[in-house]
Amino acid sequence: MDKNIIRYPFKGFTIIVLTIIGVLLCTAVPLSAQVLNLYDAVNKTIAYYPLLQQREAEVAANKAHISTVNGNRLPSLKLMEEATGGTSNSLPGGYFSMSTVPSTSGSVRATEKNNVSSGNIAVSYMNWQFYTFGYYHAQTKEARAQLASTQAVYNADKYLLTENVISVYLDLLKKYRLLQIERENVDRVGTIFNAIKATVVSGLKPGVDSSTASAEYSKARIAYIQALNDYMYGQVAMSSFTGLDTSQVRPDTSVFVPGFLSKIYMFQPIDSINLNHPLLDIYQKQYEQQLANLNTVSKKYLPKLSMEGAGWVRGSSISPTDVYSNNLTDAMLYSRSNYLVGLTVSYNVFDLKHRHDEMVEGRYKVKAQQSALQNEQLNLNRLLQQTNSAYSSTVQKLNELPFELHSSQEAYGQQIALYRSGLNTLIDVTNSLYVLKQTETDVILAQDDLLQLLYMKAGLSNQLDIFLQNFKQ
């Protein structure tokens, strides 16, 4: 008996290896795994992903900010009650009011008295800037522009997140299908093993074929293990987006049935980009926000018309004739009342310098946002042209691959038959097997390219929602 046969117990070894590989496959993709289609994967990501929850909270905060800004129009009304005790000495002359210097009112005496007196005052003071030459209105418009900008950031992040999860899902689908190819390749090599075992044992083939086949079988197993590792890595990436235990789900391979592919071919997004695109709209809204801010600055330093009014009552332990009462509680009785109303026009002349500086700064920011918008338009248009070019060549490639695949399958079948008849060598079979596997891989990669390019075209034309409807069950 050939010593190679003794060294490689094919039957037992093959059964053990195939069993281990089957267990690994079932671990990675459970037989009862639920199918996760692309439409559901995107929706679960949008509902789960923390970044979008952050953006939603920021939008809500900006909505509340509009109400805050509108509250600036309300008047200020302050109520105060104060009881005091201390000396009461005053001098002629004025001084600027300072918070650390209490006010002392009363008669001016020739000498200082240290008698303790008490006092009581209740004040109601109102101030209302009722006309600001459009400043309040400009603040409201700026707050609304800020809300629109925040909403545009949310939409842009949602768009980018959708694109990312589509790309990750399609990559996972590609890896899943490549894993199936590697599994089928292991099965094919196992078939060759059986053929070699029969021919070597019967003496029709040399023992070296068993060593060559053993090496090819090991290579097939290693390729399968690598494909399995790649697929599990893709599962982790998918889980980080959806929050699902993606080891319990598998991608939907039904998208590659002929009927679906025909529907995908019929989906042709509009080849144009407009300002409604989320990645452009964010620049547009930031540009409009800068314009609103510039308008607010132009109104900020204009005069303000205010209406003021105050009413107060006072009590004191010092009589109008400057006699100190021994009973300090006498101050709790109000003895005098006053009111005062006024119309105020306030304007800081030196604010003209501040207004000029802020307006210059604001105009540069507006120009910067406008340039950023134009730059993004150029980038998206260039990306669309590149995508269209790649899409066209991918479609042509996919039209040729079915013929290559059919020929590769026929060639492999013929080489197996010839080998069993002793009319060719194991190298011929191995070469045909390699060509078949490579062609099957090319088909999967080309189909993945097609879907990747289609979603990019749909995204650039702002039609991702329409694209995803094709994958809805």
Residues in the chain, overall count: 473
Integer angstrom CA distances of residue 108 from 53, 112, 113, 322, 421: 68, 9, 11, 10, 132
Integer angstrom CA distances of residue 372 from 151, 286, 291: 18, 10, 15
- List Cβ neighbours of 168 (8 Å cut-off, separation of 6 or more): 234, 237, 238, 241
Integer angstrom CA distances of residue 8 from 2, 207, 368: 10, 11, 73
Q: What is the pLDDT of residue 156?
A: 94
pTM for the model stands at 0.79
Q: What is the pLDDT of residue 208?
A: 59
Query: Residue 163's CB: how many other CB atoms inside 10 A?
Result: 19
The edge-to-edge listing of strands for the beta sheet with 117-131 is: 76-86, 117-131, 304-316, 336-346
For the chain, domains (ranges, CATH) are 3-67+138-290+358-469 (1.20.1600.10), 74-87+115-131+304-346 (no CATH)
Q: What is the pLDDT of residue 128?
A: 92
Backbone angles phi, psi at 153, to 5 degrees: -65, -45
Angle at which helix 10-28 crosses helix 208-242, to 10 degrees, equals 10
Cα 390 to Cα 394: distance, rounded to the nearest angstrom: 6
Cα 177 to Cα 219: distance, rounded to the nearest angstrom: 19
In tens digits, the chain (473 residues) has pLDDT values of 333 333 333 344 444 444 454 444 444 455 457 889 999 999 999 999 999 999 999 999 999 999 999 998 888 888 888 888 777 777 777 666 766 667 777 777 778 888 888 888 888 989 999 998 999 999 999 999 999 999 999 999 999 999 999 999 999 999 999 999 999 999 888 877 776 766 665 555 555 566 777 778 888 899 999 999 999 999 999 999 998 888 888 898 887 776 656 666 666 777 778 778 999 999 999 999 999 999 999 999 999 999 999 998 988 888 888 888 888 888 888 888 889 899 999 988 888 888 888 999 999 999 999 999 999 999 999 998 898 889 888 888 888 888 999 999 999 888 888 877 778 877 888 888 899 999 999 999 998 998 899 889 888 888 888 888 888 87
Q: What is the pLDDT of residue 261?
A: 62
Q: What is the pLDDT of residue 94?
A: 64
CB distance 79 to 124 below 8 Å:
yes
Q: What is the pLDDT of residue 102?
A: 74
Q: What is the pLDDT of residue 114?
A: 82
Cα 153 to Cα 157: distance, rounded to the nearest angstrom: 6
Q: Which amino acid is at 334?
A: Y
Q: What is the pLDDT of residue 12?
A: 46
CB distance 450 to 395 below 8 Å:
yes
Q: What is the pLDDT of residue 266?
A: 65
Burial of residue 200, with CB atoms counted within 10 A of its CB: 0-12 exposed, 13-18 middle, 19 or more buried = buried
